[in-house]
Amino acid sequence: MPPLRVLVVEDHPLFRKGVVALLDAVPDLSVAGVAVSGEDAVARAPELRPDVVLMDLQLPGMSGIEATRAIVAAEPDVRVLVLTLFEDEHSVFLALRAGARGYVLKDADEDELTDAIRAVARGEAIFGQAVAGRVLAYFAQPKPAPDVFPELTDREREVLGLIARGHPNPSIARTLFLSPKTVANYVSAIFTKLQVADRAEAMIRAREAGLGS
């Protein structure tokens, strides 16, 4: 069987070099190419057609979440495995909603990472040891109350919740791994759907409904 081909998406040169060296030393894995930004990854994935994309979340320009969404939409057979420093539930579920098949932290050992790549390539969903417990705990929580503002999408509701907590657009962009332009578009859509004039009115409506508390 030919080795699994991996596209490594990582903007930090030293870490990228280490991952490439690790994968090249494993007989059943090979590095199809590297990308240093989300835009670069989206452009290279159709060209290289890797079996697995190893995706960082914090990238210059387009985030790893947005890049994952674009790659999966254009190339459904390409599987994305997130490799990141972020271990909070919010980042995990953003990645999964974007289409990632697995989520491993950067402090994983070599066997954990290579096993995760193989598992994702086989079509399995895989979580690193440090993340799996958080995912299980999330699903063990009681179901939340029905969503408020049904006219909003899930993402718009997330943005509105952050507005209610006083986050400006740049902070929302960092929290949700979105570009500032994308956040501005969501905010504009929220104002239109809720028929509010400005951010202050949106914040009041959200807090009255229990968002952002």
Whether residue 51 contacts residue 24, with contact meaning beta carbons closer than 8 Å, is answered with: no
Q: Which residue has the tokens 């791994």?
A: 177
- Give the range among 53-67, 123-137, 138-152 with minimum mean pLDDT: 138-152
> Which of 152, 147, 148, 158 shows the shortest CA–CA distance to 191?
152
The whole-number pLDDT of residue 25 equals 96
- Domains, the chain, ranges and CATH? 4-140 (3.40.50.2300), 154-208 (1.10.10.10)
Report pLDDT digits (tens) over 150-204: 899 888 988 998 998 888 999 898 888 888 899 999 999 999 999 998 888 898 8
Q: Residue 51 corresponds to which tokens in the numbers above?
A: 């079996």
Whether residue 98 contacts residue 71, with contact meaning beta carbons closer than 8 Å, is answered with: no
Please classify residue 14 by burial: count the beta carbons closer than 10 Å to its beta carbon, then call 0-12 exposed, 13-18 middle and 19+ buried: exposed
- Check pLDDT > 60 for residue 5: yes
Report pLDDT digits (tens) over 79-108: 999 999 887 777 888 888 889 999 999 999
Question: pLDDT: is 148 or 155 the higher one?
Answer: 155
Whether the full predicted model's pTM is greater than 0.75, yes or no, is no
